[in-house]
């Protein structure tokens, strides 16, 4: 079943059982997560795409690590759990905030992203005219670090 996006919890703090004020704000208050079937191994933080080698409705139930080839416009989102083999389930943020997504190093904050890259599972800066077969799938919320990760906002695409 799809996750609900019609309620947004905006309270920042609450009282715990001892009366102390605690932060209750989480990333899940601003994102949508869906569960898919992994078509192969996927690591948390990887950008994933629909598996067109599957049959029938399996093509939109099964995801793979985004390929290292140009022209793939099937980006679904960012995996937040890992699958070590095909057939396991993997949770994917399809809309909203992700901390530590795989993005090629050197991308500035506020830059649109695409998955048509040179490294599987990793996004890179979207360039108009260069990525004509794709559409942006996310935006960086900080500059990508040397470890090829940064916080991103995933753009809902389905």
Q: How confident is the model at residue 22 (pLDDT cuts 50, 70, 90)?
A: confident
- Average pLDDT of the residues in 100-115: 93
For the entire predicted model, the pTM comes to 0.84
pLDDT value of residue 78: 97
Q: How confident is the model at residue 17 (pLDDT cuts 50, 70, 90)?
A: confident
pLDDT at 30 over 70: yes
- Average pLDDT of the residues in 34-51: 95
| Residue ranges of domains in the chain | 13-154
Residues 6+ apart with CB under 8 A from 28: none
pLDDT at 9 over 70: no
Tens of pLDDT along 44-63?
A: 999 999 998 888 988 899 99
- Average pLDDT of the residues in 53-78: 87
pLDDT at 110 over 90: yes
pLDDT value of residue 130: 66
Contact call for residues 91 and 28 (beta carbons, < 8 A): no
pLDDT value of residue 16: 74
Place of tokens 């389930």: 89
């Amino acid at each position: 079943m799809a996750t609900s996006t019609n309620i947004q919890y905006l309270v920042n703090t609450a009282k715990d059982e001892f009366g102390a004020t605690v932060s209750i704000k989480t990333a899940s208050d601003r994102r949508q997560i869906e569960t898919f079937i992994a078509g192969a191994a996927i690591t948390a933080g990887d950008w994933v795409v629909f598996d067109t080698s599957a049959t029938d409705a399996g093509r939109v139930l099964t995801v793979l690590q985004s390929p290292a080839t140009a022209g793939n416009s099937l980006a679904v989102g960012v995996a937040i759990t890992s699958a070590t083999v095909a057939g396991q389930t993997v949770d994917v943020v399809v809309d909203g905030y992700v901390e530590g997504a795989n993005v090629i190093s050197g991308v500035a904050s506020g830059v649109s992203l695409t998955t048509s890259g040179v490294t599987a599972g990793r996004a890179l800066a979207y360039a108009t005219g260069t990525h004509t077969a794709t559409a942006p799938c996310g935006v960086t919320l900080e500059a990508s670090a040397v470890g090829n990760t940064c916080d991103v906002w995933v753009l809902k695409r389905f």
